[in-house]
Structure 1
Amino acid sequence: MEQLLAHCAHAIDTHDATLAQQLLWVLHNIAPPDGDSNQRLTAAFLRALVLRTSRSSSSPCAALAAALSYFNHDSPLTPLSLSPVSLAAFIDLTPWHRFGFSAANAAITDAADSFPVLHLVDLSTTYSMQLPTLIESLAARPECAPFLRVTVASPPESTSPPPTLDMPLEQLGVRLVNFARSRNVSMEFRVVPSTPADGFESLRLHQLVTDPAAEALVINCHMMLHCTPDESAPPPETAQQTAAPIMLSSLRTAAGFIRERVRI
């Protein structure tokens, strides 16, 4: 089944609709979503292939996705949506999230040292689930915790990797602010509509800090770059594929702007 999936992915990548349909027909019949562990895993990859194809804006991929939709008529591609408690439990069981949170929070608290304000721009894919442990870390500092200002990018749901959150980010922000208050950490939570399709250009990163000498700006991109193509990828066909270079360029521009403001 692994080899069939690899051949199927290659057929989709090369827009070979005939071969892709043949392989998908075989995979659909040998890997039911309610089978054993290997069959369920294969079925999940099969759904992912169809979903990836359906999100492409190129004509061959769109036509292929329409043809392949037959194989998911009994298993609609609905994203998994979790409550904050369930999402936190899911993330707690995921090693790369737990390690990433620990490493990132240590770097963030170090960056905030001696600054009265910590401005965290959260571009991560985990719906601010990293913040409770960060708040705990700031509250545990022997000196007074800095004022925590959080700006969260809110991309369209269609571009958000699963699982998704079953409540608005604004409502989650209210809960996080209350949690921070219970830990004697002052916090402000702001949601800004933005999208990785333009590298979060709409955030205008270089305008987020008003006083670089008093405010530490930290941009948290945990797992986000995994959702965008690499800079070394071939010339893109769609705007979505240019996200990584634009995003990295925005980060570098913001860093240079802040350094210049501090120097002046």
Structure 2
Amino acid sequence: MHHQDQEEECYNIFMDDEDFSSFSSRYYDPYNHHQQQQQTSNTTMPTTSTGGATPSENHAYGRLTDKLSYSYSAARDLSLEFAASLSGQNGKWASDILLETAKAVAHRNTGRVQQLMWMLNELSSPYGDVDQKLAFYFLHALFCRMTDSGKRTYRTMISALEKNCSFESTRKVVLKFQEVSPWTTFGHVFCNGAIINTFEGESKFHIIDISNTFSTQWPTLLEAIATRTQETPHLRLTTIVATKSGGAGVQRVMKEIRSRMEKFARIMGVPFEFNVVHLAGDLSELNLAELEVKEDEALAVNCVGKLHSVTTGDNHRDFLMSMFRMLHPRIVTVVEEEADLDVDVDEDDFPRSFQEILRFFRVYFEALDESFPRTSNERLRLEQAAGTAVMDLIACPPTESVERRDTAARWSHRLQRGDFRPVSFNDEICADVRASLKRYREGWSIVPCSDSPGIFLSWKDQPVVWASAWKP
């Protein structure tokens, strides 16, 4: 099995340096008019002084203080209340203040909300340290939830995304993220190993790809097929591109990826066919006939980072599992971020949901902080994409959300209800995954799941990504 250095090399070959207008659901910059790298000069904890960065410099959604009116004495009292957090008692002042704000929003305590938002507005920045960034993105989402403007704001973000993001910028973000972090490559290594083992000895493969990593998984698999098998089999790859809005941008991207994948397959000497199925809607609405599954092909369904985009209402996720079962695949590989981000519409339960969203994105931002240099444009793009996800989770209707992640235990239960059973992966796959982690900073590890099949990628002992394999 080839590790991430080969994966990056393969991907660079097939993603050569061309620039064209495109679409990306992960790398939207919602603050486009702040594209200059406004970096804070140091990483010290901000004070409660009102003399920090001005809201007009930091917030694309305008001056919240124009809408929030209260006395200076109230702000001073609030500053004293959170003095312990701001002085670094636990080093995570943003979490403390944001959670209090979420509670105030849930309890409809308008005065308290105004005070807390004023403080967050003064302290936050998309170019500061982790706490300043979390304060910035979560404050934006809370404000939109409070004003019922989340749905409109999110759609504006997606619209700007399709206009402003190029294939070249997306390529750079994908490659740099894979270079400095195993967040996505962990799933690639695991799934490729499971698929190769399942297809051993087969002359025809068909992989149905449901993922969000722009086909970066497959160059390494093509090379593995070319070098590990005695007789090179025929590989057919069907990529499902499901978007809520559709649009010409995504079609241009997939056309370019198809061309490059076919070119790379020729270089590797692998008979190859690449098909794209565009779905303007939910994955649970997929028409199986469009996949053109053939009886003489060994079939795999590969799901990496996309199952959580299926809406949670009306048992759509359970229905999708039954659809997979109808395809009679040899194997189904599943990779999802490990978090319980199903936000309840009940305001009484909102603080608990909010706390889990905040926990998960803090881990993500801290991992980015230790992986990327401070001035990295790619890191800024990833953080802004995370801010878009936060907006979806906190301020948009649950029935339309594409970011509500489930835990490994819940996904496992859903797969088992769909008559799938876990595949026991061999020691070679685990060895490959461990070897791929050695090129990254200390702090990354893999651990077995205690209550579910599969393994976790962990960052400093906190599970962040789950990978597993299943068969009917």
Structures share a fold, TM > 0.5? yes
* 1:65 has 2:149 as partner: yes
Secondary structure (helix, strand or coil) at the match of 1:28 reads helix
Alignment partner, residue 449 of structure 2 = none
Tell me the residue number matched to 2:125: 32
Structure 1 counterpart of 2:317, one-letter code: A
2:302 to 211, 217, 220: 220
Q: Is the 8 A contact 1:201 1:246 kept in 2?
A: no
CA contact (8 A) 1:198 1:246 kept: no
Which of 194, 200, 208 aligns to 2:292? It is 208
Contact 2:293–2:327 under 8 Å retained in 1 = no
**Contact conserved, 1:146 with 1:185, CA < 8 A, in 2?**
yes
Structure with greater Cα Rg: 2
1:56 match:
none
Question: CA separation in 2, counterparts of 1:193 and 1:103?
Answer: 26
* Equivalences for residues 81-96 of structure 1 within 5 A: 81=165, 82-96=169-183
Pairwise CA RMSD of aligned residues?
Answer: 3.9
Match of 1:110 in 2: 197
Pairing 1:199–2:284 present: yes
> Which segments of 5 or more consecutive residues in structure 1 lack a partner in the other structure?
54-60, 231-235, 259-264
The one-letter code sitting in structure 2 at the alignment partner of 1:151 is T
Question: CA 1:253–1:41 in 2, change beyond 3 Å: closer, same or farther?
Answer: same
CA–CA distance in 2 between the matches of 1:49 and 1:133?
42
- AA aligned opposite 1:123: I
AA partner of residue 246 (structure 1): F
CA contact (8 A) 1:119 1:150 kept: yes
The number of residues matched between the two structures is: 228
What does residue range 229-244 of structure 1 map to in structure 2 within 5 Å?
236=313, 242-244=315-317
Q: Which secondary structure does the structure 2 equivalent of 1:168 belong to?
A: helix
The correspondence for 1:179, drawn from 238, 241, 264, is: 264
From 141, 164, 169, the equivalent of 2:254 is 169
Show the 5 A alignment for 1:101-180: 101-156=188-243, 168-180=253-265
Residues 141, 150 of structure 2: 8 Å contact kept? no
8 A Cα contact 2:283 2:310, kept in partner: no
Unaligned runs of 5+ in 2: 1-93, 332-472
Partner Cα distance (2:242, 2:109) in 1? 31
Q: Contact between 2:299 and 2:330, CA under 8 Å: does it hold in 1?
A: no
Name the CA distance, whole Å, in 1 between partners of 2:112 and 2:206. Answer: 48
Q: TM-score, normalised by structure 1?
A: 0.69
Amino acid of the residue matched to residue 325 of structure 2?
A: R
1:11–1:20: 8 Å Cα contact kept in structure 2? yes
Instruction: Specify the code of the residue in structure 1 equivalent to 2:95.
Output: E
Separation in structure 2 between the aligned mates of residue 41 and residue 166 of structure 1, nearest angstrom: 33
Q: Secondary structure at the match of 2:211?
A: coil
Q: Cα distance 1:41–1:257, how it changes in 2: closer, same or farther (>3 A)?
A: closer
2:148 is aligned with what amino acid? L
Q: Percent identity?
A: 28
Q: Evaluate the alpha carbon distance shift between residue 158 and residue 91 of structure 1 in structure 2; reply closer, same or farther with a 3 A threshold.
A: farther
1:251 aligns with 2:344: no
- In 2: Cα distance, 1:208 partner to 1:17 partner: 56
The 2-side partners of 1:111 and 1:216 are apart by 9
Distance 1:31 1:243, change over 3 A: farther
Q: Distance in 2 between matches of 1:67 and 1:29?
A: 25
Query: Residues 143-163 of structure 1: CA distance to partner in whole angstroms, max 9, x if unpaired?
Result: 12221111111122659xxxx
Conserved 8 A contact 2:243-2:281: no
- What SS does structure 1 have at the residue aligned with 2:326? helix
Asked if the contact 1:83–1:165 (Cα under 8 Å) also holds between the matched residues in 2, the reply is no
